[in-house]
Chains A and B, each alone.
Chain A
C-alpha cells in the first residue's frame, strides 16, 4: 500500500518532467532547412511591446523566405536574462547573433564574449556601448525626436503649453527621442514644456500619468509621448479633447498608432519601420553566413505620419 503511494508521487514528478519535455518538443521548429549553414539567434528585448513583436515578425518572415534557421529569444526587458540567453547562444554554437539590446551598457559584456567566441554580432534598434558589432541597424531616434517636435509645433500653431511623456528611464531610445524633442522644441520660443513625466512606455501607466498632468495643467494644447503606446494612453486620458484642443504626437508607428492617426485622435506619429529593422537584420545575417561583406551601419528611415499619408503605411 505504502509502496503504491510512493510510486504515485514519483509518477507526479516524472509526469511533470515529461510535460516539460513534451512542451519543448511542441515548441521546437522543424528548422533543419539550413542547419548546414548554422543557426542565427535573434535576442530580442521584449515580446510584450508591439514594436518589438513586429521587429521579430519581420525577422521571422525574412528568415523563412531566405531559408535561414532563426531562433528567437525574448529577454522580457531584463538585461540579466538577455546576458543569459546570449551565453546560451554561445554554448549552442550559433553562427551569427542578432541582438536587440534591452540596454546599451548592460549588453556590452555579452557583446565582448561574443567577440571572444568569434561569433559575428548584428545590433538592432540599440547598439552596445562597447564591443565590436559587424553591423548596426537602427532608426535615428534623435532625428525622430526632432521631427516630432517640428510636427507638433506646426500643428499647435507655434504657441502653447506642452506635456512630454517620457519612456522607461535609462533606455537609450527614451534618452535619444527626448533629447531630439527637447532640443528642437526649444527653438520654438512661444511653446513651453510645462511637464515632463515618465510613463515607462506603458499604455495604462500613461493613462494615469496624463490624467494627473492634465488636472494640473488644464491649458495644454500639445502632448508628445516617446512611444505610441503612451500616446494612446494619453488620448484615453484626454477624452474628447484629444485631436481637437490637444494635439498628441507619438513615436514608433505601431498598428494602433496608425489607427489613432487615421481616426484623428492622434495628430501624428513618427513611424519607425520595425518590420524593416528585423528584415534587414536577417538579410545581413544571411550575407555574413554567405561570407559577404555587410555595411557597418544601416540607418532605417523614420517617417512623420499624419492624417494625410497614414494610408500608405497602414
Chain B
C-alpha cells in the first residue's frame, strides 16, 4: 500500500482486509470458489473428495513448481509435459527391457528429465536460442523419443514407481511428493543464493551479468531443475496409472504455466513464489474437480479455465498498476 496521503489515521479493518485480499487475489478466488462449490454440491467438501483434489493437483503442481524457476528468469519451458512422459518411459523401459531394480529405474527416470532439461538450458544459455523455441524443440524431441522407446504402446512400470501412485497410511504418495517438490521450490527460491539470483536475472539480465552472476550457468541449472521436476511429475503420473503412457502429459505444460501465472508470477520475469504457484495449481484442480462433480461438460470446463486465467492475470496487472 503506497498511500501518498499523509493520513495519520489507521486504515479501517475493512480497508485492511481489502488490501490483504488484493494482494492474495488467487487465494481469495480459491476460497470463494470453494464456498460456491460447497453450496452447489454437498459432495464437494467430503474427506474423500479433498483427498481427490490433492491427488489431482499433484502432477500439475510438481510441474508448475519446476516451471516457477523458469518463469522467474523470464523464460518459459514448453517441454515439461513431454519430459514427464519421456522420464516415465525411460524408467519403464529400463525396468522391462534392462530389468534393473525398481529404485534404480526411478533414479534413472529422474535423471532422464534432468538431462533433457539441461540440454534445453545449454541451447538457451550458450546457443542463444530463445527459450520458447528451444523448449518447443525439446517438447517435440522428447515426445518423439517417448514414442520411439515405447513403440507407441504403454509399458508397465516398476513397483517402486507404482508406489508413487499409492497411499502411505492415510496420505496419498502423490500428495507427499507434491509437498516435497513445493518445499524444495520454496527453499531454493527464498533460502539460497541461486534462488535470489533468479529474481535478479529475471528482473534485469544485463545488470545481473554485470554484477558478476554466472548467468549462463544459472540458466542451465534452472532448466535442468525444471526437467527434474517434470521427471518427478511423470513418475507420479505413471505410478497412478501403473504404466508409462506414450501420450501422457500432453498439454500439461499449459496447465503448469497457467498455475504459475495465476499464482502471481509475471511472464516478464523477476516475480513469482512457490506458495502462489501452489494456490494456482489447486485452483485449477478445484475448478476441474468441482465442475466434474457438478457434471459440467469438459468443453465448458475449458472455457471456464480460460476465463479464470484471464481474470487472474488481469487482476494482477490491475494490482501492480495500483501499487506503482
Contacts and interface: CB of A to CB of B under 8 A. Distances in A.
22 contacts: A3-B14, A3-B15, A3-B18, A6-B21, A13-B29, A13-B311, A16-B307, A20-B291, A20-B304, A21-B40, A27-B300, A47-B298, A72-B297, A74-B297, A74-B298, A79-B248, A80-B248, A81-B298, A84-B288, A87-B56, A169-B147, A169-B246
Contact of B297 (A47, A81, A88): A47
A20 B28 CA distance: 15
A108 B242 CA distance: 8
Interface residues of A, number: 53
A87 B55 contact: yes
Contact of A80 (B32, B36, B48, B241): B241
Given A16-B308, A88-B49, A27 B242 contact: no
A47 B296 CA distance: 13
A21 B39 contact: yes
A175 B250 CA distance: 21
Contacts of A9: 22, 25, 315, 318-319
B247 A168 contact: yes
A72 B56 CA distance: 19
A17 interface: yes
A262 interface: no
B243 A106 contact: yes
A24 B32 contact: no
Contact of B304 (A14, A23, A71): A23
A17 to B, nearest CB: 4
Interface string B215-256: 000000000000000000000010011110111101000000
A308 interface: no
B293 A92 contact: yes
Contact of A21 (B36, B165, B292): B36
A14 B294 contact: no
Dominant SS among interface residues on chain A: helix
A9 B24 CA distance: 12
Contacts of A7: 18
Which one of B21, B40, B298, B319 has the highest number of Cβ atoms from chain A below 10 Å of its Cβ? B298
Given A2-B15, A18-B36, A170-B245, A27 B299 contact: no
Interface in A75-101: 75-81, 83-85, 87-88, 90-93
Contacts of B293: 88, 92
Interface residues of B, number: 67
A27 B243 contact: no
A61 interface: no
A116 to B, nearest CB: 11
A20 B292 CA distance: 12
B315 A91 contact: no
B189 interface: no
A170 B29 contact: no
A312 interface: no
Interface stretch (B116-124, B152-160, B178-186): B152-160
Interface in A1-42: 2-3, 5-7, 9-10, 12-14, 16-21, 23-25, 27-29
Given A79-B248, A169-B147, A10 B40 contact: no
A14 B32 contact: yes
A169 B144 CA distance: 12
B289 interface: yes
Contacts of A71: 295
Nearest to B302: A76
Interface in B20-60: 21-22, 25, 28-29, 32-33, 35-37, 39-40, 43, 46, 48-49, 52, 55-56, 59
B282 to A, nearest CB: 14
A128 to B, nearest CB: 11
Given A28-B295, A84-B289, A88-B289, A13 B307 contact: no
